[in-house]
Structure 1
């Protein structure tokens, strides 16, 4: 997957992969459409961090979920 392009499709891919890796029980609440292309680099940073770790501690998962929450569009 070429993630060098800042597209909504790439954001959707990264969010889905993050949700899968974090085994998020509330994954339905984390919709890719809630994120802006303007935060692409931040989302990509979270994605890369999650993908390179084989295991994440509970505190790491909590921190990542908080960060994703911060990056979501404010309605």
Structure 2
């Protein structure tokens, strides 16, 4: 899977992996169908940052979810 390509499948994978990585309890916050493919690269940047960082604090999780909410349809 090449995540550098902006496809619906890749977006779906990234959003689901972020939900898992951030241990989001409310799954409705990160439903893949709620995100627009036009913002794929912005969402991918957030994904790359989370993956590179490893440990994410509660404050960072809240900030990430707030940022992702800007890219919802």
Alignment of 1:10-49 (within 5 A): 10-49=10-49
Matches within 5 A, 1:45-64: 45-64=45-64
Deviation at 1:37, TM superposition (A): 1.0
Q: What stretches of structure 2 of length at least 5 have no aligned partner?
A: none
| C-alpha RMSD of the superposition | 1.0
TM-score by length of 1: 0.90
Q: Deviations over 1:5-58 (max 9, x none)?
A: 111100000001100000000123421111111001111011101111121111
Give the aligned partner of residue 71 of structure 1. 71
Q: Please give the alpha-carbon distance, in whole angstroms, between the structure 2 residues aligned to 1:29 and 1:71.
A: 12
State TM-score, norm by structure 2: 0.92
Gaps of 5+ in 1: none
